[in-house]
Amino acid sequence: MAQASLGRETEATVHLRVRVPDGAPGDLLAGAATVVARIDALDDVDVEEITGITPNLNAIVVDVRATVTLRSAAPDDSTVRADLEDGTGIEAVHEVALANRTAATA
């Protein structure tokens, strides 16, 4: 993890719980990427793997590991966590790794 060009963007590796709506186009990985990409603070999302699946009535909840790029520099992990938690369809933020630092919660 490193600061992106000119310090205007921040890259982080994250572990999230994401609600993917039933009938979402593509597979679960693509569906999770679509949900995460809707977060306003993000410039880029690469969902790398699914670490858990929980079927629900109108959605499938998946735990994913992803690399995200924020539109602006984030001063700390808690800022990245707050930006992610504000996203629609984000059920939980399990872990954030930013600039060789890690903040984890259950």
Q: Give pLDDT tens digits for 13-49.
A: 999 999 999 887 889 999 999 999 999 999 999 999 9
In the prediction, which pLDDT does 9 show? 72
Both structure tokens of 4: 């992106």
Give the whole-angstrom CA distance, residue 70 versus residue 8. Answer: 9
Q: Which residues contact 1 (CB under 8 A, 6 or more apart)?
A: 11, 12, 13, 97, 98, 99, 100
Q: Where are the alpha helices (DSSP H) in 1-106?
A: 28-37, 77-85
Q: State how far the alpha carbon of 64 is from the alpha carbons of 5, 8, 24, 50, 72, in Å.
A: 26, 26, 16, 4, 23
Summary mean pLDDT of the chain: 85
